[in-house]
Amino acid sequence: MPEPSQQQVSESWINHIELIVASVLQLGILLVTVGAFLHAQWLGAFSGVIVLLLTFAPAMIERQLRVPLPVEFTLITCLFLFASYGLGEARDFYDRFWWWDLALHGLFALIIGLIGFLSIYVFYMTHRVRVAPLYVAIITFALAVSVGTIWEIFEFSMDWFVGLNMQKSGLVDTMTDLIINAIGALVAAAIGFFYVRNEDSLLGRRLIRNLVEKNRQAAANSN
């Protein structure tokens, strides 16, 4: 068996570090949730449980769809959820920094768009689906915008039926979030378009390369 190359060793170390960082972020969310329970902040505690479960979404997607995902997906998911709940809600970053909500909405749309694109690309690279790069970009954009819109509906529902204040300034907040979501979705769509067309892109290179390699290894092992 050939010895692993220097690049493979470096990639392995990077993956280990990313997993450690993701685990630390999960631990941080857990501690904030426990603190909410101890202070009888039931809504915050409930939100913390949901957020903690969501950090395991990449692993559940990988298991259910049998699609090996790069470690970066787990890291990005944990980072986003910790920034949203651990810092935004628990540490009042939404009130302390006016741009915090906008930044997270843009990042959320970008993440969802990239997940949607990479899910499509799994079938594209195995020749199970052959479509033009433009259609890949359109599907990526539509998925990210749709998920962002559903989130805004969720915020409105929580404000209307539960009495929260997730929308802050109401219509202005909702429309601003939707615009930021669309921008993030457009960036993800552009990354997907240029990668499918040129088989390369600076922003998507590492994630997509890892995804392709993992799926090729899985296909080889299954055979």
Name the token pair of 160: 């209307």
Lowest mean pLDDT among 82-96, 176-190, 195-209: 195-209
**Can you give the pTM of this predicted structure?**
0.70
Backbone angles phi, psi at 100, to 5 degrees: -60, -45
For residue 3, pLDDT beyond 70: no
Name the token pair of 42: 């039931």
Give the H/E segment covering residue 151. helix 133-157
Distance of CA 189 to the CA centre of its chain: 15
Q: Maximum Cα–Cα distance for the chain, whole Å?
A: 62
Tokens 């949730």, residue located:
33
pLDDT in tens, 64-109: 766 666 677 788 888 888 988 888 878 888 888 888 888 888 888 8
- Residue 1's pLDDT is what? 46
CA distance 147 to 62: 20
CA distance 158 to 151: 11
